[in-house]
Amino acid sequence: MAKFQDMPAEFRNVLYTELLKKGTGYHRSRNELALFSVSKQLHTESTSYFYQNNDITIDAPSLATDTATILPPIADKYLRFLRNLGVHTITGQANWPGVRKAASTITSIATLDAQLDELNVFISSPLSQLLNSRVDDSVMDRCHPITIALQNLVASGVAKSICIELRNAWFAPGVASSLHPAPSSQLRFSISDKYVLDLDLLERPVTGRYSSMHLTDLGLREEDVRDAGSCLATSLSSAPSSLPSSLCSAFADLDTFSVTTFEFGADDELDKNGESYDDFDTSEQPFFTEDEIEEWQASTHESSQEDLSGAEGPTLGEDDEMEDVPQQDIQAFMNNLEETAHHHANEADMNYMTNFAPDLLLSRHHLGHLV
């Protein structure tokens, strides 16, 4: 009996295209990657085809494994097949360990034995928009590890086209032009999915202030501040991080003055009820009452019984069960989530800076005479 591996290579490639190539295939299944484990021959052919014809995206840095030491989680033996590669990383202060590891990952791309058609490097900032406008954590100068890594990457010629996208991150003045000294089709820049030709939009003057400087002013050692703050540059998340939730978690339990609470008059409401913030401990009060929990358990039990009783009924086809959601609707939803996350992070940072780093609030508004 003829087997799949006995078919001509051209026929096998047609099937690989249907199953493994992005944007093709009318009969895609959810188990197409199971083809990798059929046999050694099919594994070799299908994996090489998969990495050559799909956009592969990784986070930098990522934990290395025994088989993926260069660009984890991609196994080292598949790196030579890569054609379209995307790297997501977070920038931060140059001396943070996470930033140096990310720069090392970017530098390693320049040494790959691969012929990349397109390489996209996405550089974002974990800081809230409020804090980001007042410190230089997200501004990369000429000596920044990621800047040096990008210079090596562009000079290596490992990719036919390189796109560097900045998301709430900038270069210091003159850095973007040094990366892109002359018009070239190899290197492009973009800001939040929009290509830019004006390099001035990629750069921002430095202020000399960083988000961790106030901690040393409060008496913390520089090495402790560096270790505590490095988590900002290693946690790749789409949501921004506020200072009290990450860098300065040591102050999270201190009694602080809330700007937003004072603005909306919540202090007066608590005083009228004979309560104070010292007496009002939300951590000791359950979010749901016992009656609400019992009601939820009863409704869950009823719905499970309905599901069991309706299991014998007619089943809908895969196309009838779920309709495709337009990509623009998904993107709009994600943008709204990001905007909400920034709003909460800005509020938390405003309260924190009011209590522990008021100089960060004053530096941009020239209100030093009020101190």
Alpha-carbon dihedral 217, 223, 224, 229, rounded to 10 degrees: 90
Q: Is residue 254 part of a domain?
A: no
Q: Is residue 290 part of a domain?
A: no
Q: How many domains does the chain have?
A: 1
Q: Is residue 259 part of a domain?
A: no
Full domain range(s) for residue 200: 9-20+32-209
Q: Is residue 341 part of a domain?
A: no
Name the more confident of 246 and 152.
152
Q: Is residue 62 part of a domain?
A: yes
Q: Is residue 367 part of a domain?
A: no
Q: Which of 226-230, 278-282, 305-309, 336-340 has the lowest mean pLDDT?
A: 278-282
Q: Is residue 125 part of a domain?
A: yes
> How does pLDDT run across 295-311, given as a tens digit for each residue?
777 777 666 666 555 55
Q: Is residue 47 part of a domain?
A: yes
Q: Please name the residues in contact with 304: beta carbons below 8 A apart, sequence gap of 6 or more.
A: none
Q: How far apart are CA 91 and CA 140, in angstroms?
A: 8
Q: Measured between alpha carbons, how far is residue 75 from residues 68, 126, 249 in Å?
A: 4, 28, 36
> How does pLDDT run across 128-177, given as a tens digit for each residue?
888 888 889 999 999 999 999 999 999 888 899 999 999 989 999 999 98
Q: How far apart are CA 124 and CA 148, in angstroms?
A: 17
End-to-end CA distance of the chain: 88
